[in-house]
Each structure stands twice: as C-alpha cells, then as structure tokens.
Structure 1
Amino acid sequence: MKKQLTMADIAKIAGVGKSTVSRYFNGGYVKEETKEKIRVVIEEYNYKPNTFAQSLKAKETKIIGVVVPCLDSTVTSRVLMSLDEELRAAGYTMLIMNTAHDHNLEIENIENLQRLRVDAIILSAISMTDELKKVIESVDVPLLVLEQEYAAGVSIINNDYDAGYKMGKYVADKGHKNVLVVSVNEKDIAVGVKRRSGILDALKESNVDIVDVLESNFSHHKTYDCAKEYFKDGIGNIDAVICSTDKQAVAVMKVIEELGLSIPKDVSICGFGGYETSNLLKPRLTTIKFDSEKLGKIATETILKMIKKEEVEKLQSVDAKFIEGESVYDMN
C-alpha cells in the first residue's frame, strides 16, 4: 500500500511549487501542462485531498454548524433530516454538534464552530439564558435560533402557545374537570412557558375545576419517576393528564398501567410530538405534531439569505396538526 501523500510531496514529485498544487485543488489558475503533471501524481499515488482542511482555508467553507440539544429525539431527527436534504441541495454540508441538554456544552459547541470557520450556525437552543445570549452576540457569522424566540436576533419557533391552547380546549371539551399538566422547567420558554400557558389558559377559560402542574424534564426516566411519586397513593380525582411531549406521555401511561388502571376509561392521557410510534401505542395517543420538515426548510432558506446578507424576517413560526387518537375519554 502506498503511503498517503501530502501536498508538499505532490509538488516535489511533479516538479512544481506547493502553491501551484494548492491552486490546483482550490480551483485557481494553473496551466494545462502543469495540471496534467499534478493529475498523473494524484492518480499514481491514489491521493485523496482533505476536503475539510481545504474548506477551512477557503473564504467560504460551505459548512453550516448545527447545534442540537440531543440526538435521541424524534422531533430533532426530523428537523436534522430536513435540514440535511435542503442544505445538500444548496451545496452545503452540516456539521452537527450535540449538547446533551448541557448549557455549558452548548456554549462550547458554538465557540468551537466559530473557530472552525463555518459559514453559519443554526442553533436549536435549550433555553435562552443570559450567558447564551452574550455568546450569540459575540459570534461573527450568521446565527439562526430554532425553537426558542430570540428577540435580539433571528429565530424560527413552533407555535407552542396555540398548540397548547388547542390541546387544553380539547380535553376540557371532552368533559374533564380534574387535570394534571406535566411540564418542564420554565427556563425553556417554548415548552415550559408558552406551551404550558396555552394549556392552562384553555383549561381556565373552560372552567376546569382542578388543574395541577407536575414539573419534569424531557426524559422518559425522569418523567416516569415523577409520575410514580405523584400517583403513589393512586390517581385520586385526576381524570386527565396533559403531557408536554409524547415521550412524557409514554412514561405516564406506563405508571397508570402499573397501577392496574385503564386508559382512557380511568384516566385520559395526551401529548405533543406526533411520533410515528405514538400511533402504535394501545390506545393510540392523542397528540399534536409540529411540522418539523417545514421548520427545516424555512431554516435553510433563512440561513442562506443571512449568509448572502439578504433581509430576513426576525421571527417566523410553524403551526401544528392535531392528531386525535384513542387516549382521551369523552365524559360528556
């Protein structure tokens, strides 16, 4: 097996300058006779250029950094697939950085991407902390925030309040009067504040008698533990549980089933996400699905305009689709 050559090796073997080889790979002017000399060496030694290193030396890297809170989320996966398809069609490559819901790692990832000289950054933010805002302000490449509203910059959000209101109204219209809302910390403005507020406002306007809030996070395990503790003495008067995500809903369903109770006859459960697996649950989960594919498409269109320094809308939103399953009982 022949040893992998460097550009300096190619220059020496071809009898040309290293700068000439560099121009050859970067599309600069090189005489046809010289090009042929370089091509012969490349073919003989099966040289494969480091395209990533090349991009870092170019004015445009054609790489867009994408920072996401996790890689095990169905919604995140949908958004990434849509982004990848749209960006590839535009000639760009994604460089994905996972934060694992760690705020410090989120900031490190943004700073690392800037050092790598990506053309732009798309950030699916965990929450808009003051520290994160300062880092965003210091970034000298276009940066687009997804799924959290960023007043000082450009962001694309899901219409969480309206989605929450729609679900709260649906549960109330089905005659439920004692509702538990499983939410997340209010540091997450999108889900912990706006989605929760939509649910609570709808329940209040519909004169639901009792509304309790149980705070968890986005993980199945944490929600299972929280629900297990909450229902340790049984479900009491609770006749419906509205979860902030389908993953939370699955965890609560497990707890209810372990109590030997029936869904939805004994207690109704619903969520947000519209995962394909939610349709396989027994009973099928009533949920709300955000258009992640559309979010990815709008994000691509927006970030490309930002790279070209074209005017973009400061705030755009994506609507959701209500999916009626079999997990909410009609008590009327």
Structure 2
Amino acid sequence: MIRTIADIAKIAGVAKSTVSRYLNGGSVGEATKKKIEKAIQDTGYTPNPFAQSLKAKKTNIIGTIVPRLDSYASSQTLIGIDEQLKEWNYQMLISNTSQDLDREIESIYSLAKQKMAGIILLATVITDRHLKAISEIHIPVLLIGQEHEEIHSVIHDDYHAGLAIGKYVLEKGHRKIAFLGVTEQDIAVGVKRKTGFQKALEARDDIDVSYFETEFNIPAAQAAAMKLLDSREHSIIVCATDNIAIGVLKAAYKQGLSIPRDVSVTGFGGYDVTEAIHPGITTAKFHYKEAGKKAAINMVELIQERPVEKLTTMNFEIIKRESVDTV
C-alpha cells in the first residue's frame, strides 16, 4: 500500500506539518523524531524527492531549457547533464520551448519561481531579454552552445572546427566550393563555423566560394540544395550542420547525382546517423554528452559558490568518411 505524509503522521500520532518539517530537515523534538522514524521504518515509506525538494528552502533540482527535443545535439547534451547530476544527487527538470523565444524567456522566470537551484540553458541566441531575465532571477544560470561575457558558458570550438574543415577541403583539392549555412543570429553555428572556414581559405587566391543560407531542418536543407545542385557549379558543399548535409544527400539522390563522385559533402556535429548512412558523411564531431557533463559540474560548483571559469571550450575531432572525394 502506498503511504503518504498524512498516513505517517497518523501512525506516529503527530501533525502532518511536523512530519513535513522532519522530512525537510527542520527542527523536531527527539521523542517526536523517533516516533516518525519508527512509522517510516514500519511502513517502508519513501518521500517523493521532487516534491520534497520543491518544499525545501534550497532545492537540488536544476532547470534545463532546451529549444527542441528532436535534436541529436540536445538529447546527447541532456543525457550528459542528467548522468552527472545523478552522481551528485541532483535532479534535472526539462523545459522544452519548441524554438519559441518568448517561451524561452518565460521558462527562465518560471523555473526560478519553482525554486530551481540553477538553470542550464541550451541557447541558440542571447538577447537583451535573456540578460534582463537572468539578472532578475538571482540564481545561477549557465549557457551551453553559446557564450556571453556576463554569463558562465560551455561551448564547442566552432571556429576552429570550421578552420579544420576548410583546411581539409583544400587538401582534397576542392576550389569551387559552396558553404550552406544558417542565420547569423546563431553566433556559434551561423557565424563562428563560417568565420573559421573563411579563415582557412584566406591564404589562397584560386578559390571560388559562394555562401548560402537555409534552416536547421532536413526538408528545408533539401529544398535549398535542390536549387544549389541545379547549377552544377561546385565540387563540394560544406554544410553548417549534419542535418543540412543529410538534406544535401537527399537532394543529390533525387537529382540522380552520386556522392562523392558528382559532388562532395561535409557537415558539423558528428551525429550517429552520419556513420550509419551511405556514404558516411565527413564531419567535425562535437562531444555533446561530455559538454553536458561539464555543464552539470560547473553548475553544481556555482551553486556551491565555488570559483568556475567563465568560459569552457570543448574539443572536437574531424571524422573523415566517404562523402568527400579528391579533385
């Protein structure tokens, strides 16, 4: 039989509020304490840690705000956060915003009102509204994926990943290049990856490179690639994410083109699917799970008021697969 605080109070012969105070670490007389402990032992009662934490003055719950759940990067990051928090007896509460900026700001205030110990934000953009909300809630906030000088952040090395991909493309002999990116409102993906890539190409004057924009999802990337492939002008399409690269693959197959014989493709991310499909996609692999673990560690340190570096940058590696041919 499931027991409640009311049942324990009745068995121990004390008020429900007394049991609640005991469970939350409040002051209870020794005799009363023994009665409650005996009732708990006899019934096998286990407090709900989530509800118990919310009632306490200081919770052990970390609010985590994600822009979307149907994302490899988000899911792997959340796994890393959750695994690390469990090791330290903290819990994670997820708030999904479905890429709605208004919902993201609301979630910051809402989680703070629920007495979260801290908030981890898997950010895509940081606006003045974000900064205002963060300054008003008075609990630690940590960013993953984006950085800001005023906020503790864990980021991926997007710039150097872009630089490394650019150098690899040149090594393979490609000179007619298309870069299929995303909005520059996303500093990490839309700006830093492209800037690093551009830096790699600066040393040469025989490069013909064009820059295009699409959305993060595969259908939008496929539609953009269909138009791009019509021209047959480029020997390689460098994509700002693996999902965009998959969209290019789908468009190429629809047009009867062979990858990498007719056009080469690269991505960023290192999603598991890039190895499972054929041809495997050459990509800059980011370690999302490890970033989640590091963010969880830093967050707990902040909660404990210990010193934490303002910016933590994670490593990456270039995974070379069959989607890039030598020209």
Q: Which TM-score band (shorter chain)?
A: over 0.9
Check if 1:217 corresponds to 2:232.
no
Q: Alignment partner of 1:255: what SS?
A: helix
Q: Deviations over 1:74-119 (max 9, x none)?
A: 1222211111111110110011111222111111111111010010
Q: How far apart, in 2, do the equivalents of 1:160 and 1:129 lie?
A: 20
* Equivalence for 1:21: 19
3-state secondary structure, aligned to 1:238 = coil
State whether residues 169 and 206 of structure 1, in contact with CA within 8 Å, keep that contact through their aligned partners in structure 2: no
Q: By how many angstroms is 1:294 displaced?
A: 2.6
Closer/same/farther in 2, CA of residues 174 and 183 from structure 1, 3 Å limit: same
Amino acid at match of 2:247: A
CA deviation after TM superposition for structure 1 residue 230, in Å: 3.3
What does 1:1-332 correspond to in 2, within 5 Å? 5=4, 7=6, 10-12=8-10, 14-28=12-26, 30=28, 34-35=32-33, 37-38=35-36, 49-231=47-229, 234-331=230-327
Deviation at residue 39 of structure 1 after TM alignment: 5.5
Bigger Cα displacement from structure 2, 295-304 vs 136-145? 295-304
Identity of aligned residues (%): 43
What code does the residue aligned with 1:296 have? G
1 CA distance for matches of 2:168 and 2:234?
16
Cα offset, 1:48, TM superposition: 5.6
Change (3 A) 1:81 1:228: same
* Structure 1 unpaired stretches of 5+: none
Structure-2 separation of matches of 1:205 and 1:319: 25
In structure 1, distance between residues paired with 2:227 and 2:115: 48
8 Å contact kept, 1:239–1:268: yes
Q: Deviations over 1:227-271 (max 9, x none)?
A: 22333xx24211100001111101111101111111111100010
**Closer, same or farther: CA 316–208 of 1 in aligned 2, 3 Å:** farther
Q: Is the 1:172–1:208 Cα contact (8 Å) retained in structure 2?
A: no
Kept in 1: contact 2:63–2:111 (CA 8 A): yes
- For residues 22-78 of structure 1, what are the alpha-carbon distances to aligned partners after superposition, in whole Å with 9 as ceiling and x for unaligned? 233224454565445445665787766443232122122110111112111112222
TM-score (norm 2): 0.92
Q: Secondary structure at the match of 1:271?
A: strand
From the superposition, tell whether residues 293 and 12 of structure 1 become closer, same or farther in structure 2 (CA, over 3 Å).
closer
Deviates more, 1:37-46 or 1:280-289: 37-46
Long gaps (5+) in structure 2: none
Letter in 2 for 1:227: A
Matched to 1:284, the amino acid is G
* Cα displacement (A) at 1:12: 4.7
Q: CA deviation at 1:122?
A: 0.7
In 1: Cα distance, 2:109 partner to 2:30 partner: 42
Paired residue total: 327
